[in-house]
Structure 1
Amino acid sequence: MKQLYSKSNLVDIAYAVAGILFCGFALKGFLVPNKFFDGGMTGISLLVHELYHWDIPYVIILANIPFVIMAAFQVNRNFALRTMTAIIGLGLCLYYIDYPQITSDKLLVSIFGGVFMGIGIGLAMRGGYALDGVEILALYTGKRISFTTSEIILGINIIIFLVAAVELGLPTALYSILTYYTASKTINFVVEGLEEYTGVTIISGESEKIKEALVMRLGRGITIYKGERGFMKESYDISQDCDIVFTVVTRMELRRLNNMVHEIDPKAFVFTNIIKEAAGGILSRKARH
């Protein structure tokens, strides 16, 4: 058991180291030389670096210290320690590794700077580490005001890009928004991977055949809700009992599921929704921090 635990820790550390190296490459190879920004505390650090010409490694570490302290109270001390270790590691990476500037083309900088930043932050998150304290701030603030975490993060980033637009010009701010968007989408892909889960609800008169196909052919567990079909405008008083089938699949399986349901009942009503977190049951996602 101890050996497995140690192996798990080594994998987490490998994710964190790879994440730090990718973030360092994004910052020194793309963003910093071209005066571009990202969102969150990284964006604030880059903005302070440009306005006051302070060394970026020191700014990133100092800017995130208050949020590491918040993490100790809002999440747990182990996560706070991991976050502080990752942030110091990023600072050391920026200080000691001399990454070359890759390009000065603004579009390439905004897209690929965001991609490599997203890969770095996403890999660190897969290892249970954090390289940006803004989400901790949003979690702390969200418990005291009536805004969601996403709304708070969005508000912080709007302020960052407005300041950048005033101080460094609107084109730089707009390109930086593209960087942030690219980074956020890349983070989602790296963290969720190809196993991003999708909830699927199926209403059909052939529910028995669909249930069997989902379990026996697709290998997925299902949940059945008891409902009624009908209530059409021309026959509102006519309805019949039915089984509403719900299952969870990865996005790689979604096309196969749709084809399978259409084959059984072309008139089946199918709708999907993205699931941000899923655990338990027959799912086997590993929990982090």
Structure 2
Amino acid sequence: MKILRLPQQIADIVYTITGILFCGFALKSFLVPNQFFDGGVTGVSLLLHEIYHFNIAYVIVIVNLPFILMGAYQVNKTFALKTLAAVIGLGICLLVVPFPQVTTDKLLVSIFGGVFMGIGVGLAMRGGSALDGIEVLALYTGKRISFTISEIILGINIVIFLIAAFHLGLPTALYSILTYYTASRTINFVVEGLEEYTGVTIISGQSEEIKERLVMELGRGITVYKGERGFLKESFDISNPVDIVFTVVTRLEVSRLRNMVHEIDNKAFVFTSSIKEAAGGVLKRRARH
């Protein structure tokens, strides 16, 4: 088991506690008083609370327990213990912290309830734990059936929102879908941040100047593949050797890079791809998540 240094442990604890407070605020000040839902395990917990009137603090802990056990086998025991502590912390937060109801406006509830929930879950993920076990279930199920993790999560959430529509009406279910979408986008932003990396591939006849400016002007590391360009319909037998340049930049640098390349060769073929995690090389240092 990898032992984290003390500053890293403290950062994980701060992230997790802050995430718990944000989730508690989203639930007690927005979602629960207005009978709104989220997706995943939190959505199941909110459904049980609304249908059977169980205390949400207890329900959210109990419903997460099977997924925490799955996490011990699918991820590792450290993750499972952190998640257990985080979920219990969320239950305690819901019991003892007197968050006030902020608004009854349905649009505000659906958007800002999702934003605060997403911030909370994302911060907990940065701290190495999870406040919603749905992805653990998807990971477990995905190894046994042919569906992807995203498809499994989507299927589970469709069932949740259909049940919500049946018991509480279609408008509430539709607003809750907006809450889920807002939360999921916020989670992505919190976890990846503005420094989310993007891979950029450039194919151009002016590759020498592009390589030089990428390294000397933008300070980027590059990888060069040897390829051929041409093979057009009207001249399929004609091709030329070309250096295919690949580099990794942050999301904020993509526009600058694209403008630079088109300044050199406005016919250059440039395409990008999202990169979930990158380390090493000459990448800018990022804070540990």
Correspondence for 1:147: 147
Correspondence for 2:24: 24
* 1:224–1:246 CA contact under 8 A, matched in 2: yes
- The residue type paired with residue 21 of structure 2 is L
Distance, in Å, in 2 between the alignment partners of 1:119 and 1:148 is: 25
- Offset at residue 278 of structure 1 (A): 2.4
Correspondence for 1:12: 12
Distance, in Å, in 2 between the alignment partners of 1:145 and 1:278 is: 29
SS in 2 for 1:248: strand
Correspondence for 2:207: 207
Residue 136 in structure 1 maps to residue 136 in structure 2:
yes
Q: What is the 5 A alignment of 1:93-108?
A: 93-108=93-108
Correspondence for 2:175: 175
Deviation per CA, 1:51-102, whole angstroms, max 9, x where unpaired?
0000000000000011111111111110000000000000000000010100
Distance, in Å, in 1 between the alignment partners of 2:91 and 2:281 is: 41
Identical positions, percent: 74
Distance, in Å, in 2 between the alignment partners of 1:137 and 1:81 is: 17
Runs of 4+ in 1 over 2 A off after TM superposition: 276-288
- The residue type paired with residue 273 of structure 2 is N
Distance, in Å, in 1 between the alignment partners of 2:95 and 2:268 is: 59
Distance, in Å, in 1 between the alignment partners of 2:171 and 2:281 is: 49
Deviation per CA, 1:143-197, whole angstroms, max 9, x where unpaired?
1111111111111101000100111100000000000000000000000001111
SS in 2 for 1:36: coil
Residue 219 in structure 1 maps to residue 219 in structure 2:
yes
- The residue type paired with residue 92 of structure 1 is I
* 1:278–1:285 CA contact under 8 A, matched in 2: no
The RMSD of aligned alpha carbons is 1.4
- The residue type paired with residue 85 of structure 1 is A
Distance, in Å, in 1 between the alignment partners of 2:276 and 2:166 is: 36
Distance, in Å, in 1 between the alignment partners of 2:194 and 2:211 is: 24
SS in 1 for 2:194: helix
* 1:23–1:117 CA contact under 8 A, matched in 2: yes
Correspondence for 1:72: 72
SS in 2 for 1:70: helix
Q: How many residues align?
A: 286
Distance, in Å, in 1 between the alignment partners of 2:20 and 2:210 is: 46
SS in 1 for 2:37: coil
Distance, in Å, in 1 between the alignment partners of 2:80 and 2:117 is: 21
Distance, in Å, in 2 between the alignment partners of 1:237 and 1:23 is: 61
Distance, in Å, in 2 between the alignment partners of 1:209 and 1:227 is: 17
The 10-residue stretch of structure 1 (141-150 or 178-187) with the greater mean CA deviation from structure 2:
141-150
Residue 52 in structure 1 maps to residue 52 in structure 2:
yes
Q: What is the 5 A alignment of 1:28-39?
A: 28-39=28-39
- Offset at residue 233 of structure 1 (A): 2.1
- Offset at residue 211 of structure 1 (A): 0.8
* Stretches of structure 1 lacking an aligned partner (at least 5 in a row): none
- Offset at residue 285 of structure 1 (A): 4.6
Give the TM-score of the pair, scaled to structure 1. 0.96
* 1:195–1:250 CA contact under 8 A, matched in 2: yes
- Offset at residue 129 of structure 1 (A): 1.3
Give the TM-score of the pair, scaled to structure 2. 0.96
